[in-house]
Structure 1
Amino acid sequence: MSKQPAVICLDLGGSFVKLGVMDAQQQLTILDQQKIPAQSWPDFTALIGRMIEQYQQYFSADSPLAISTAGIVSPESGEMFASNIPAFHQRNLNQSLGELLQRKVIVHNDADCFTLAEALAGVGKGHKVVFGAILGSGVGGGLVADGRIITGQNGLTGEWGHGPITLTEVDIAGETVRLPRQPCPCGQKGCLDSYGGARGLENLHRTLHHISMSSINIIAGWQQQDRQAQRTLQVWLQLVSQPLAYTINITGASLVAVGGGLASVTPLMNALNDEVQRYVLRSTHHPLVVPGMFAHNGGMIGAALLAHQTA
């Protein structure tokens, strides 16, 4: 078997482009990070071309370009839906960038790529079905079964943060807390995304206490036994754990790898695991919900592994 070439890796977010390279031993090296020209396709492609040319000593002419990106990739047309990055919204990045750079280009959603990285090389290694739960600024997800990303209709899979599923009543120590269904940027009302991620936690705290506070300070207050912060996190844990338990029941996942900023708070992840174990049909002796190993670069690692799968 011939040696696989190094893979050029890009992570495309709403603010930055991150460039890296994965070698034949599947070791990722981060090379550069630049502010993304989010509004202009010519500026975006010019930046990508310059970045690759600047670090061309790290890969070869036949190295594929693997891209992990915010947004959804249509499995039918390859068209991107990334409204927060107009530079390539409604474009086929595989085709367009491939023609410009004269390389094979593989593009996939960043939550899916994170989940693949965790399933193949991270905390989900050895598990048949792994769900990736993103608890960052918002709520997202991905699903991997038998080492392959499950890509559903229109590229949507694992989007447990959307749909009118949020509880409107939560019982805390004998008190019934009533919550309004919040409008979501996706166009629906009552999505978990409104309360579940870091911005959602801030929204929840504001709804419960009429106080604006950063998610970092809310979590710090919770750890320091602050009464208001504790109440907010008690409500948050119920709001998040029940949809996540439903997701585990539906997908059959034996492990949930959590990514995003909230995954870095180990006591919070432990508490979330305890809550989820209460609601799944069959609890486990091993933790079901665990922080991922690749919180910072999981998307790039997963995209590169996907490029190896499709070589």
Structure 2
Amino acid sequence: MLICFDIGGTSIKAARATAPQALTPLGRKPTPRDDFAAFVAVLEGFLGETPAPVAISVTGVIDPRSGLATVANIACIDGRNLAGDLQAALGRPVIVANDADCFALAEAHAGAGRGHEVVFGAILGTGVGGGIVAGGRLFRGAGGLAGEWGHGSITATRLSVPPYDLPQFECGCGQRGCVDTVGGARGLEKLHRHIHGAELESTAIISAWTGGDAAAGETLSVYLELVAQPMALAVNIVGPDIIPVGGGLGNSTELVAALDGEVRRRILRKLDRPLVVPAQLTVDAGLIGAASLGFSEGLA
């Protein structure tokens, strides 16, 4: 048995797990952002008397060698050896991975990637992220950054669809032309604003596109070309059997299907089945991913 936590900047969710798919919810509490003792106390409140080990999905990046966490929106754990510090404070084994990796694990163990050898979980949410699972285990990579296809100066500036020429937008990571600048919800909105001079939320753009709106259709044609090219490159490098797509944009089955078609015609491997598919675990993916992490790493 494990006690699993899904830790975000706003709240901490907890569950008891006897398998990755067998969770008993324990509740949710606000995340203490500036007080580590208060942060630990919230976790202890969920543990009770059980001696079970702890598996955590957390926003941010975890370096697998040093164990150091980079968590910009939770100051009290930023820069800590999070697993080590929590293990000492809680008196039990603790394992930690970031939320994108846990999303990929959840889909590999209990979602769209179940039964597949290599799963590349792609997140198209506010921004762009991802994680890689091979043989049921998380591939962490140097620095804990494997699967982060959202960054790097890779987006095209010359397109096959109008407006044909496009600048590489500045990214929060300090580079220009990252997939993160165009591939997430804010990126889609940025593209629509750049092409049409109109302010629309991503959900409205998707809705207009599926309804046949010409302007939204132009925006989506640009979006699909910009995102499909780097995703196809990631497929050729990683060789996934399946790519579950999570995040807000992943909720549009039409968008995911269109992206699948654009990716498959650009990759070396020829498939007669979908490769890019909607994620199946839209609720409690963080907790399921944390449980999957703990069980796949032999913590329980």
TM-score range, shorter chain: over 0.9
Q: What is the aligned partner in structure 2 of residue 259 from structure 1?
A: 246
Report the TM-score, using the length of structure 1 for normalisation.
0.91
What is the alpha-carbon distance in structure 2 between the residues aligned to residue 41 and residue 290 of structure 1? 39
Determine if the alignment matches structure 1 residue 94 to structure 2 residue 83: yes
1:81 deviates by: 1.0
Q: What is the aligned partner in structure 2 of residue 105 from structure 1?
A: 94
Q: What is the aligned partner in structure 2 of residue 215 from structure 1?
A: 202
Structure 1 unaligned blocks of 5 or more: none
The alignment partner of 1:253 has SS state of: coil
Tell me which amino acid in the other structure corresponds to 2:286: G
Q: What is the aligned partner in structure 2 of residue 245 from structure 1?
A: 232
1:171 deviates by: 1.7
Contact 1:76 1:154 in 2 (8 A): yes
What is the alpha-carbon distance in structure 1 between the residues aligned to residue 198 and residue 36 of structure 2? 41
Equivalences, count:
298
Tell me which amino acid in the other structure corresponds to 1:231: E
1:195-234, Cα deviation, whole Å (9 max, x unpaired): 1011111111111112221111111111111121111111
1:145 deviates by: 1.1
1:24 deviates by: 4.7
- Please give the residue correspondences for 1:151-190 in structure 2 after superposition, counting only pairs within 5 Å: 151-172=140-161, 175-190=162-177
1:150 deviates by: 0.8
Q: What is the aligned partner in structure 2 of residue 205 from structure 1?
A: 192
Structure 2 unaligned blocks of 5 or more: none
CA 1:25–1:207: 2 relative to 1, 3 Å:
closer
- Please give the residue correspondences for 1:78-93 in structure 2 after superposition, counting only pairs within 5 Å: 78-93=67-82
Contact 2:16 2:25 in 1 (8 A): yes
What is the alpha-carbon distance in structure 1 between the residues aligned to residue 32 and residue 192 of structure 2? 34
Determine if the alignment matches structure 1 residue 234 to structure 2 residue 224: no
1:67-116, Cα deviation, whole Å (9 max, x unpaired): 10111111111110112221211111111112222221110011111111
Q: What is the aligned partner in structure 2 of residue 67 from structure 1?
A: 56
Contact 2:51 2:92 in 1 (8 A): yes
Structure of higher RCO (CA pairs closer than 8 Å, 6+ residues apart): 2
What is the alpha-carbon distance in structure 1 between the residues aligned to residue 134 and residue 51 of structure 2? 29
Contact 1:248 1:254 in 2 (8 A): no
CA 1:24–1:160: 2 relative to 1, 3 Å:
closer
Contact 1:221 1:229 in 2 (8 A): yes
Q: What is the aligned partner in structure 2 of residue 16 from structure 1?
A: 11
The alignment partner of 1:28 has SS state of: strand
What is the alpha-carbon distance in structure 2 between the residues aligned to residue 43 and residue 199 of structure 1? 33
1:240 deviates by: 0.8
1:31 deviates by: 2.8
Contact 1:12 1:69 in 2 (8 A): yes
1:25 deviates by: 7.7
**Aligned residue among 42, 45, 60 for 1:47:** 42
Instruction: Kindly report structure 1 stretches of 4+ aligned residues shifted beyond 3 Å.
Output: none
Q: What is the aligned-residue RMSD (CA, Å)?
A: 1.6
CA 1:25–1:266: 2 relative to 1, 3 Å:
closer
